[in-house]
Structure 1
Amino acid sequence: MVQRILAAGDIESLDQSAVPRIRTPERASIFMARATRLRQLADRGNPIAGYLRLMAGLADAQQAIMRGFKARAPSAESIATAQQHSMPLIPALSGVRDPAWRDVLISLLDKIEAAAPLTPTLEQLIEKLRSLDAATLDAQADAIFAQRFAEVDPASAPFIVAALQVVWTDLAADIDPREIPYLETPGLCPICGSHPVASTVRLGGAYDNYRFLQCGLCATEWHMVRSKCSNCDSTKGIAYHALGTPDADTQTKEAESKRALLKAESCDECHTYRKIGYQNKDYDFDPFADDLASLTLDLLMGEEGYRRASPHPWLWPEQVDEEERSA
């Protein structure tokens, strides 16, 4: 039996209760799976393999901390207000966050130091992070959430984000999907209001053949029809781009695109793109890890005149430039 791929209009015409809308993160495995995938991608000769292995160690540390961590839950009143006004349940941009995130950061640094010998550069960075006071750390978190790039220290940001991810992922894992409201801005995470990092066309069960965006902060996934821009919500000028053989003929390029595990979905209305992966090509695909490991596709999209809709939480713009120069 050949399964038909539903077009955007077909999906939107369905009873929405029949389409699983939300996938909350699995507390026991979310960071472990990410670490495993990062190492897989590093072992395939990736040009930033060293960085991917470092980030795999960071994900290992996140998972270890999650086992004994419990974030301060939001009040019933704040959740009710968010539901009433179609707002994210636990908005990252509110400036109200569990102060325990700073303790999580120190624990992450402890585990990274204990895991393996550090380079002098990483030793200096960890020492610097340990020396920052609460006000400075919170100011960095505010700048990261607001994407005020000029205020973000790109070297420190992945570690600060990792600590914040533990807090918000812990909260998201406990939320009943039925309590999560529809947002007026569908391209943002309905739990924390953060940007998606990439999307997955899932394989199997109730999620089969549906596209889900994954939040870069709390790892919540939410359904969004394909052929629709996740940045501006437009259905016009959507195109898909994949890496292929340089100077290949049109037929070869089309064949390579069909086989591609990862593509960039571009929009000519807002001139941005986000990546999309297909579990039927590789079941281990992880939107967070695979996006981080595919800088070559980012280079291609830059050459074609598109910009990322939002940065990868573990690779800020200045770091991208540095890695591109060393690749």
Structure 2
Amino acid sequence: MVQRILESAASIEALDQSAIPRLRMPERATVFSARAARLRQLADASHPIAGYLRLMAALADAQQHVLADFTAPMPSRESIALNQQHSMPIVPALGANQRDPAWRDVLFMLLDRIEAAGALTPPLAQLVAHLRSMSADALDAQADAILALRFAEIEPAAAPFIVAALQVVWTDIASRIGSAEVPYMDTSGVCPVCGTMPVASIVRVGGVHEGYRYVQCGLCSTEWHVVRAKCSNCDSTKGIAYHAMDGAEASTAQTAEDEQARAERARNAPLKAESCDECGTYRKIGYQEKAYDFEPFADDLASLTLDLLMGDAGFRRPAPNPWLWPEQSASDEASQADESDEAR
């Protein structure tokens, strides 16, 4: 059951924004290995998609291995300067002309690592063979559809592996960009580095980032600061609420003490869904002080029950987790496309 928790925006909005580090660029040496470790930690025997989480952990390990020896070409200084001048993402990912063809080589290297890990199920072996058989044009078309959220064109089973290859490329680029080079954006709804949407957010502990909320890009893993109690999709501070699993089933004979205990569990939950009544969306937020190993991408992927409950409550995600693409109806696709256009 989900518990709705209201939090005041006033004290958070009063923070001195000039004193807060605006960006956290991805840590090249550990970005994917930390994700893999967290996925394995979350994939306990009772988890409903434990097998899938372990497969994605193997994929994240493969990403870290490939990233160690991969260097993508950087955009020209002229291109970067133009984007800086117009407050645009500094290295936008959307569009085949923005991608070095080597991203497809990265995909095949990831597939090699997955195969080398062994124990491929027949469906997974069939999927790997399918990906290897796709033409360059077909792979680029899938990449474009994924980045543009054109759901009807996306192959849900193949998409996580295609995304994983794109993540390696753009994480490599982002890790070599200085935060001072990244322009301020007019909206917080898209990544200032690659222009794609964030997957989830984290309130960090330690050092200069202590107590601040950062949203994490689902593609390049760049994190940027967004004030808490503000919608990370539409920037509204109205109608913001937090929802958490309270760890108990509802009962018709519930006492006041039961209700108080449920509310306390919800307030102390390490993972919540931040909803916005203005745009009708939600995005998950984790608290590192309550779960130090929290990793936005991994924890978002592993918390499907919260997604289901938020859907039942009438809220929708601005975009799916890039490693889990649900089947979409025509109406769902139109709605998601409208929200994506507004965010961009």
Normalised TM-score (structure 2):
0.89
Deviation at 1:68, TM superposition (A): 0.4
Q: Is 1:40 the counterpart of 2:41 in the alignment?
A: yes
Alignment of 1:1-327 (within 5 A): 8-10=9-11, 12-43=13-44, 45-95=46-96, 96-244=98-246, 245-247=248-250, 249-318=258-327
Partner of 1:242: helix, strand, or coil? Answer: strand
What is the CA-CA distance between 1:237 and the residue it aligns to? 0.6
Deviations 1:247-281 (CA, angstroms, capped at 9, x unpaired): 16431221111220100000111111000000000
In the TM superposition, residue 313 of structure 1 has moved relative to its aligned partner by 0.3
Whether the 8 Å CA contact 2:170–2:220 is kept in 1: the answer is yes
Which one-letter code corresponds to 1:270 in the other structure?
Answer: C
How many pairs are equivalent? 314
1:180-199 CA distances to partner (integer Å, 9 max, x unpaired)?
11111212110001100000
Looking at structure 2, the residues matched to 137 and 146 of structure 1 have their Cα atoms a distance apart, in angstroms, of 14
Contact kept in structure 2, 1:7 and 1:226, CA below 8 Å: no
TM-score of the aligned structures, taking structure 1 as reference length: 0.93
Give SS of 1:45's match. Answer: coil
SS in 2 for 1:169: helix
Structure with the larger RCO, 1 or 2 (CA within 8 Å, 6+ apart): 2
| CA–CA separation in structure 2 for the residues paired with 1:47 and 1:259 | 23
* Counterpart code for 1:206: V
**Structure 2: any 5+ residue segments left out of the alignment?**
1-6, 329-344
Could you tell me how far 1:21 is from its partner in structure 2? 0.4
CA RMSD of aligned residues (A): 1.5
Q: Secondary structure at the match of 1:318?
A: coil
- Residues 266 and 272, structure 1, Cα contact 8 Å, conserved in 2: yes
Counterpart contact for 2:93–2:196, Cα < 8 Å: yes
Contact 2:12 2:229 in 1 (8 A): no
Please identify, of 12-21 and 165-174, the stretch whose mean Cα deviation from structure 2 is larger: 12-21
What is the alpha-carbon distance in structure 2 between the residues aligned to residue 136 and residue 40 of structure 1? 35
Residues in 1 aligned to 2:8 and 2:79: alpha-carbon distance in whole angstroms: 37
Asked if 2 retains the 8 angstrom alpha-carbon contact of 1:187 and 1:231, the reply is yes
- Superposition misfits of 4+ residues, deviation over 4 angstroms: 6-15
In 2: Cα distance, 1:237 partner to 1:80 partner: 38
Task: Quote the sequence identity (%).
Answer: 68
Does structure 1 conserve the Cα–Cα contact (< 8 Å) formed by 2:12 and 2:228? Answer: no
Aligned-partner Cα distance in 1 for 2:15–2:43: 41
3-state SS in 1 of match to 2:28? coil
Structure 1 residue ranges without an equivalent (≥5)? 1-5, 320-327
Q: Deviations over 1:84-110 (max 9, x none)?
A: 000000111243211100000000001
Q: What is the rounded CA distance, in whole Å, between the counterparts of 2:95 and 2:185 in structure 1? A: 16
